[in-house]
Amino acid sequence: MHRNVFLAGALLVAIGLALFSVKTLQYGIPVAPTENLGPWQVELRISARGDGARGSVRALLPSTEGGQVIFDERSSSDRLQFSIRERGGNRVGVWTGWLQDVHEVVYQFRVQSHAVSTPLPSQGPFPDPPRALRSVWGQPSPGIPSDAPQVKELLESLRLPTAADQPARIRTIYSFVSHEIATVRSASSDALLTLARREGNGEGKERLLVTLLRAAGIPARLAHGLGLREGTAPDELLWAEAWVAEVWVPMSAVHDFFETTPDDYIVLGRSNVPVVEATGVSAIGHRFQSLREHLRPDEIANLLAPDNRLFAWLSLYRLPVTWQAVLRVLLLVPLGALVVALFRNLVGITTYGTFMPVLIGLALRGFPLHLGLALVAVVIAIGYFARFSLERLRLLMVPRLSIMLCFVVLAVTLFALTGQDTGMSSLFAGALLPIVILTMLIERVYITTSEEGTREALLRAFWSVLVASAIHPIFRSTHAEYLMFSFPELVIVVMGLLVWIGGYMGYRVVDLIRFRELAGGEIPGGSAR
Amino acid sequence: MIGALRRRGVLGINRRNADYTLAWNQRRLYPLVDDKLTTKRLCQQAGIPVPKLLAVAQTHLESRRLLDKLEGVPAFVLKPARGAMGNGILVLDQRDGKLWRGTRPYSREDFEYHAAGIISGLYSLAGHSDAAMVEEKLETHPALAPLRNDGVPDIRVIVYRGVPVMCMMRMPTRLSDSRANLHQGAVGIGIDLVSGRAVHAMLRGHRVENSPDTGVPILGLVLPEFDVILRTAVAATDQTGLGYVGADVVLDARLGPVILELNARPGLAIQLANQAGLLPRLDAVDARLGPKGAPPVELTLEERIELGRSIAARLSR
């Protein structure tokens, strides 16, 4: 290695490591995730379009209660006035103003949540609910037609236990909705239709549950919440809560829980109206995003705002959740490139396309390796066959490649359909686009096969898989993701290492194998050094 | 093992890329050798013999008329102007207005499709669009013909700073499908620079003594017109301004040595064929011509060939 190259590399490594050590030593930022089940970072993004009229956008905001602690709330209001109000026991974020064109408002929070169990009291007597409570949560209301004759009829047919034994009544009603009403995604969300047809969608079933409870004299309400999941957007959920002996007991006939909300379910509020609604707008849409952190809340605070203005400004943790999600992946790419450089310049193996293994690693990030490779193999096999058939038609290259692209898109679409049926749909979200890159891979495999023989093509495929397999665990590693995202300066270290690899003038492993004949006469590894 | 290779001066890929091709071959000069049409023009201008160009097609429209221009030509070679590693080369005979590939008939449609593929950039470096060129088919010199069954052997000379430093012949075999690519099973034959004599022969990393196809002994064969071969190779590289080149020469039965192509990233397998490392020879050239950037030592073509031969003679003793 030339001296200048060594020094340049050393300089980069030193700069990166210096920043890294200041952050870890002085500001106490941990070098590894400390908490496997840390808090969640959640973002609500609402787009509202207006025609210049005055209006408002309202959203249910979570509060600290039960098993959830809300902290680090932030919002951006995009030309509107933002305020938080108390309405019917809920916190409601209100954005008001003249709505002109598209406004995009964002509300972010972090939440630490754990499951809390609220069992039904087992022993009576059970006090009657206070009048005030009954007047809010015990009466028929829009969407909760607890005074409808069909509802009364049904309750009679259920032969409910005595009114004094509220827990038993709740169990009977819950069990009826849970077992006798089918959950059909395309079915109605209306309580009475759900009852009449014995099938309803998630909302329909929960509404029916609340309706029946109220009709049976038990105060009940709908709770809006989020089911947070790693690697995908949270589910917006609805469930029921019933009041017994001073406590609200959660239950869901759709998500199959009773008394205990599952882990990572958080409550946004209790309301009959949707989570997000607006007046004076011509169109509105909203979407939740979430990310799980792997740190304790105090450590996150440190990362968010170390008491150094520069580091605080440089902290990626203050970015919107969607950007963070992208950057978390992007910052892993240099590590993939490093692996490729190691394999190519120190070992000397040839892969299909220089960064193809990185792209494949990225595409397969959401899959376990064996599944991902199987997917790639199947797509390539289909594509190869298609390519083989196309050869006879003698098409020119660009249209032919475009046809291949269509084949790949169709193949992936087919996978998505089967994935939906096998419950793997969530894994697909991120993988779709990069897989299209496989088109070029198919063409390369085909040409290598016809030009240099099947053996060479398979060998190269083997090396590509090997490199991709080396990269894949890095891309999936929570630790690597945490490290690169919390310490983006490590990219500079990677650059330094790459300078060193680029300046390595010694033999590659393949040189040694190729020229072993020329080392003959000397015992390998013996006197050779 | 690493020490043994180092002592023998074996040049590895990393070092070749950094210290030789990157250092001595300016990027802007690459097109001169990457495009065979340009190389051919350069050589012709300097009076260096090359295979005759029969027709060129730059566009798909022209590719349909290629065959019209080839009427009455008994044998020719269709190749991409910017191909790599002998990919996309098609050798055809023409009898009674019909095309033959070896003993099998080859349709005109296949020919046009192949030419269209070339023009689309199927075989070119990085897939850029390319030109399809048709050259006369070369005939192997009678002295070399008995060594192989089919295909044309070529002679690779590594020329460093205008000095020939190593030479090998690549002999196509049935195994290599009549192509002169070593990794596909062509025989690499080390040629002594002083005498033009075949001194070693390697087939896929193993030593051989006789031709695998015909059984004719290889070792001891002396290349005819070897002085002309070296002169042709060095003269051609002089036209490019590149400092580290592999010149591919074919010894044609009629034309004598002709330049087939030049390569700005010549492979390293030549060291295996010669059972010798390149580094001592390259260092010896540097020692005589001075370091890069120093005032150049001007030598005539003859003096440089003499220098290369004396270095080879000294180091192989």
What pLDDT score does A527 carry? 34
What kind and span of H or E run contains A337?
helix A333-341
Give the torsion through C-alpha atoms of A196, A199, A203, A205, to 10 deg: 70
Task: With both helix axes pointing from N to C terminus, report the angle between A490-502 and A3-21 in degrees, rounded to the nearest 10.
Answer: 160
The shortest C-alpha distance from B111 to chain A (Å) reads 11
Q: Does A393 touch chain B (CB under 8 A)?
A: no
Q: Are A493 and A13 in contact (CB under 8 A)?
A: yes
Q: In what order do the strands lie in the sheet with B75-80?
A: B53-57, B132-136, B75-80, B90-95, B98-101, B104-106
Q: Does A3 touch chain B (CB under 8 A)?
A: no
Nearest to B1 among A451, A504, A528 (CB): A528
Give the residues across from B259 on adjacent strands.
B249
One-letter amino acid at B283 equals D
Kindly provide the residue ranges of all beta strands, DSSP E only, lying in A114-246, ordered along the sequence: 182-183, 199-200, 220-227, 235-244
User: What is the C-alpha separation between A208 and A189, in angstroms, rounded?
Assistant: 9
| Position with higher pLDDT, B61 vs B129 | B61
User: What is the C-alpha separation between A309 and B52, in angstroms, rounded?
Assistant: 72
Mean pLDDT, range B245-250, rounded to an integer: 95
The shortest C-alpha distance from A389 to chain B (Å) reads 15
Residue A96 CA from chain centroid, whole number: 30
Using the beta-carbon criterion (under 8 Å), do A527 and B3 form an inter-chain contact?
Answer: yes
Using the beta-carbon criterion (under 8 Å), do B18 and A503 form an inter-chain contact?
Answer: yes
The shortest C-alpha distance from B12 to chain A (Å) reads 5
Report the share of chain B in percent with pLDDT over 90: 55
**Closest Cα in chain A to B11:** A507
User: What is the C-alpha separation between B253 and B152, in angstroms, rounded?
Assistant: 11
Handedness of CA B141, B142, B148, B149 (dihedral sign): positive
Nearest to A345 among B14, B120, B184 (CB): B14
Task: With both helix axes pointing from N to C terminus, report the angle between A202-215 and A149-158 in degrees, rounded to the nearest 10.
Answer: 80
Mean pLDDT, chain B, whole residue set = 89
How much is the CA Rg of chain B, to the nearest whole Å? 20
Using the beta-carbon criterion (under 8 Å), do A507 and B5 form an inter-chain contact?
Answer: yes
Q: For chain A, give every residue range classified as CATH 2.60.40.2250.
A: 42-114+276-290
User: What is the C-alpha separation between A248 and A259, in angstroms, rounded?
Assistant: 9
User: What is the C-alpha separation between B89 and A195, in angstroms, rounded?
Assistant: 75
Collapse the DSSP code of A349 into the 3-class scheme (helix H, G, I; strand E, B; otherwise coil) and give the result. coil
Using the beta-carbon criterion (under 8 Å), do B60 and A396 form an inter-chain contact?
Answer: yes
The residue among A39, A31, A36 whose CA lies nearest residue A72 is A39
User: What is the C-alpha separation between A431 and A475, in angstroms, rounded?
Assistant: 13
Q: Are A357 and A336 in contact (CB under 8 A)?
A: yes
**Closest Cα in chain B to A444:** B122
What pLDDT score does A369 carry? 78
Q: What is the DSSP letter of B126?
A: G
CB atoms within 10 A of CB A150: 13
Chain B residues with CB-CB distance to A448 below 8 A: none
Angle of CA points A408, A410, A412, to nearest 5°: 70
Using the beta-carbon criterion (under 8 Å), do A515 and B60 form an inter-chain contact?
Answer: no
Class of the CATH domain delimited by A131-262: alpha beta
At residue B200 the predicted structure's pLDDT band, cuts being 50, 70 and 90, is very high
Mean pLDDT, range B293-316, rounded to an integer: 89
Q: Each residue of B146-163: b (16+ CB within 10 Å) or e?
A: ebbeebbbbbbbbbbbbb
Mutation target vs B (from A404, A507, A509; most B CBs, 10 A cutoff): A507
The shortest C-alpha distance from B44 to chain A (Å) reads 31
Chain A residues with CB-CB distance to B176 below 8 A: none
Chain A residues with CB-CB distance to B205 below 8 A: 514, 517
What pLDDT score does B125 carry? 63
Using the beta-carbon criterion (under 8 Å), do A451 and B269 form an inter-chain contact?
Answer: no
The shortest C-alpha distance from B279 to chain A (Å) reads 13
Q: In what order do the strands lie in the sheet with B163-171?
A: B206-207, B198-203, B187-191, B163-171, B154-160, B244-252, B256-263
**CATH number 3.30.470.20 given to B2-35+141-316:** yes
**Closest Cα in chain A to B123:** A447
User: What is the C-alpha separation between A141 and A129, in angstroms, rounded?
Assistant: 18
Q: Does A395 touch chain B (CB under 8 A)?
A: no
- Per-residue confidence of chain A (529 residues) as pLDDT tens digits? 788 999 999 999 999 999 899 888 887 778 877 777 788 889 899 999 988 889 999 999 999 888 888 888 888 888 888 889 988 889 999 999 998 888 889 898 889 888 888 888 877 778 888 888 888 888 898 889 989 999 999 888 888 888 888 888 899 999 999 999 998 888 888 989 999 999 988 899 999 999 999 999 899 999 999 998 877 788 899 999 999 888 899 999 888 889 888 888 999 999 888 899 999 888 999 999 888 887 777 777 777 666 677 777 778 877 777 788 788 889 999 999 999 999 999 998 888 888 888 888 887 777 777 877 887 788 788 888 888 888 778 777 778 888 888 887 887 777 777 766 555 554 555 555 566 677 778 878 887 777 777 888 888 888 888 898 899 889 888 889 889 988 999 999 999 999 999 989 889 998 888 888 887 744 333 333 2
What pLDDT score does A304 carry? 67
At A526, phi and psi to the nearest 5?
-80, -105
- Locate tokens 């050094």: which residue? A529
DSSP A310-326: HHHHH-GGGS-HHHHHH
Q: Are A511 and B277 in contact (CB under 8 A)?
A: no
Chain A residues 508-527 with a CB less than 8 Å from chain B? 508, 510-512, 514-519, 521-522, 524-525, 527
What pLDDT score does B194 carry? 93
Token couple for B303: 């003096």
The residue among A272, A211, A287, A340 whose CA lies nearest residue A46 is A287
| Position with higher pLDDT, B95 vs B49 | B49
DSSP A247-303: EEEEEETTTTEESBPPTTEEEEEE-SS-SEEEES-SEEEEEEEEEE--S-HHHHHHH
Using the beta-carbon criterion (under 8 Å), do B14 and A529 form an inter-chain contact?
Answer: no
Nearest to B4 among A451, A508, A522 (CB): A522
User: What is the C-alpha separation between A221 and A213, in angstroms, rounded?
Assistant: 9
Chain B residues with CB-CB distance to A452 below 8 A: 184
Collapse the DSSP code of B195 into the 3-class scheme (helix H, G, I; strand E, B; otherwise coil) and give the result. coil
- Locate tokens 């049976």: which residue? A216
Using the beta-carbon criterion (under 8 Å), do B1 and A397 form an inter-chain contact?
Answer: no
Token couple for B54: 């029969």
Using the beta-carbon criterion (under 8 Å), do B121 and A519 form an inter-chain contact?
Answer: no
| Domain regions of chain B by residue span | 2-35+141-316, 52-136
From residue A110, alpha-carbon distances to A43, A300, A384 in Å are: 9, 10, 48
Distance, first Cα to last Cα, chain A: 18
**CATH number 2.60.40.2250 given to A42-114+276-290:** yes
User: What is the C-alpha separation between B251 and A352, in angstroms, rounded?
Assistant: 36
| Ramachandran class of B91: left when φ > 0, alpha when ψ lies in -120 to 50, beta otherwise | beta
Q: Are B240 and B262 in contact (CB under 8 A)?
A: yes
The residue among A330, A229, A293, A291 whose CA lies nearest residue A29 is A293
Using the beta-carbon criterion (under 8 Å), do B2 and A529 form an inter-chain contact?
Answer: yes
Using the beta-carbon criterion (under 8 Å), do B19 and A505 form an inter-chain contact?
Answer: yes
| Ramachandran class of B275: left when φ > 0, alpha when ψ lies in -120 to 50, beta otherwise | left
Angle of CA points A127, A132, A138, to nearest 5°: 75
From residue A183, alpha-carbon distances to A138, A206, B29, B77, B250 in Å are: 25, 10, 71, 71, 78
Q: Are B1 and A528 in contact (CB under 8 A)?
A: yes
Using the beta-carbon criterion (under 8 Å), do A528 and B3 form an inter-chain contact?
Answer: yes
Chain A residues 340-359 with a CB less than 8 Å from chain B? 345, 348
Nearest to A515 among B5, B116, B120 (CB): B5
A-B interface: how many C-beta pairs under 8 angstroms?
89
Task: With both helix axes pointing from N to C terminus, report the angle between A356-363 and A438-476 in degrees, rounded to the nearest 10.
Answer: 70
Mutation target vs A (from B14, B85, B90; most A CBs, 10 A cutoff): B14
User: What is the C-alpha separation between A13 and A495, in angstroms, rounded?
Assistant: 8
Kindly provide the ipTM of the predicted complex, given to two decimals: 0.79
Using the beta-carbon criterion (under 8 Å), do A524 and B1 form an inter-chain contact?
Answer: yes
Handedness of CA A209, A213, A215, A221 (dihedral sign): negative
Find which of A117-126, B150-159, B295-304 is predicted with most confidence, using mean pLDDT: B150-159
Distance, first Cα to last Cα, chain B: 22
Mutation target vs B (from A1, A397, A509, A523; most B CBs, 10 A cutoff): A397
Prior bond to A320 cis, omega within 30? Answer: no
One-letter amino acid at A286 equals H
User: What is the C-alpha separation between A300 and B106, in angstroms, rounded?
Assistant: 71
From residue B202, alpha-carbon distances to A208, B36, B188 in Å are: 84, 28, 5
Give the residues across from B136 on adjacent strands.
B76
Largest CA distance in chain A: 101
Q: For chain A, give every residue range classified as CATH 3.10.620.30.
A: 131-262
Chain A residues 475-514 with a CB less than 8 Å from chain B? 503-508, 510-512, 514
Q: Is the pLDDT of residue B279 over 80?
A: yes
Using the beta-carbon criterion (under 8 Å), do B184 and A452 form an inter-chain contact?
Answer: yes
Q: Considering the domain B52-136, what is its CATH architecture?
A: 2-Layer Sandwich (3.30)
Nearest to A397 among B14, B88, B122 (CB): B122
What kind and span of H or E run contains A377?
helix A369-391
pTM over 0.80: no
One-letter amino acid at A365 equals R
Q: Is the pLDDT of residue B211 over 70?
A: yes
Using the beta-carbon criterion (under 8 Å), do A517 and B272 form an inter-chain contact?
Answer: yes
The residue among A300, A359, A360 whose CA lies nearest residue A324 is A300
Q: Is the pLDDT of residue B124 over 80?
A: no
At A307, phi and psi to the nearest 5?
-80, 40
Nearest to A504 among B14, B121, B276 (CB): B14
Token couple for B35: 């495009």
Collapse the DSSP code of B43 into the 3-class scheme (helix H, G, I; strand E, B; otherwise coil) and give the result. helix
Chain A residues with CB-CB distance to B268 below 8 A: 511, 514
Q: Does A453 touch chain B (CB under 8 A)?
A: yes
Nearest to A518 among B8, B60, B88 (CB): B8
The shortest C-alpha distance from B147 to chain A (Å) reads 24
Q: Each residue of B4-28: b (16+ CB within 10 Å) or e?
A: bbbebbbbbbbbbebbbbeebbeee
What pLDDT score does A311 carry? 75
The residue among A160, A177, A167, A155 whose CA lies nearest residue A244 is A167
The shortest C-alpha distance from B3 to chain A (Å) reads 5
What kind and span of H or E run contains A418?
helix A397-421
